[in-house]
Chain A
Amino acid sequence: MIPLSWYLILAAGLFSIGLFGVLVRRNAVAILLGVELMLNAVNINLVAFWRYGDISLMAGQVFAIIVFAVAAAEVAVGLALVISVYRRRNTVVAEDLDLLKW
């Protein structure tokens, strides 16, 4: 009864909010929070397409599972990085980490 479009719009909205967070937040950990939102939006999309497509085709859910795994790995490593950086430079403000330049 719920049209696919609702799910897709929801996912798009969540994705955009997550994008906003990534681009805008000063704290590095908050950026990673934004990334989590984006990944979740993607997962919603995937599962919605599985449900509203061919249900017997498990690829949708499998993809979503894999995304879970990847997200977990990414968070682990990312936070380890943030902590490592925090220990070295005593800051987690993304603006102060500006070495990726000339």
Chain B
Amino acid sequence: MTGEQIIFLIVGAVTLIAGFLVVTVRNLVHAALWLVATLFGVAIIYTLLNAGFLAVVQVVVYIGAIAILFIFAVMLTRRQAAETGPAMNKNWWGGAVVAVLTFAGLAFLLQTWSGFSKTAAAIPSGFDAVNQLGGALTSPAGYVLPFEVASVLLLAALVGAVYLAFNKK
């Protein structure tokens, strides 16, 4: 077992446990905080996958913006100080079955694929992933169009969110 693998296992376990706690704790603020933990775990996974830029973006965008947004929303929608009622609805066992089935199905499907157990190729020297990524995102021969469309999407989301949450009083 190499060090990478050990790190992966630890990080993987943390991510999964944190994710599980996200969906099970009753207190929503705790759930949001456990989400932060999960997102961190995912960022480390990105790093292990040599996608450093993505790791940073993950931390900045997801944790820095989205998780905070969640906490804001939780704050704004609290009725009392304590949460009332159970955390899960009455069909939780159905959801559990479905989740297990989904995982089993996905796993089964994936392991039939021939390339399931292949190992990573080495990164050639001089390979600048960020440079490549930047080039791909901005060159017309690359993915500039989706990039621009994505920004339009963000604009729409922005406008929509403002409108929806706008307090007319």
Contact = CB atoms under 8 A, between A and B. Distances in A.
A and B, one complex?
yes
Interface in B6-40: 8, 12, 15-16, 19-20, 22-23, 28, 31-32, 35, 38-39
Interface in A51-74: 51-52, 55-56, 58-59, 61-62, 64-66, 68-74
A80 B156 CA distance: 13
A47 B23 contact: no
A59 to B, nearest CB: 7
Contacts of B12: 6, 10
A101 interface: no
Report, as a range, how many residues of chain B touch the other chain: 35 or more
A64 B129 CA distance: 14
Interface residues of A, number: 74
A23 to B, nearest CB: 3
B2 interface: yes
Given A15-B106, A61-B133, A73-B157, A33 B164 contact: no
Interface of A: 1-10, 12-21, 23-30, 32-34, 36-37, 40, 43-44, 47-48, 50-52, 55-56, 58-59, 61-62, 64-66, 68-77, 79-84, 86-87, 90-95
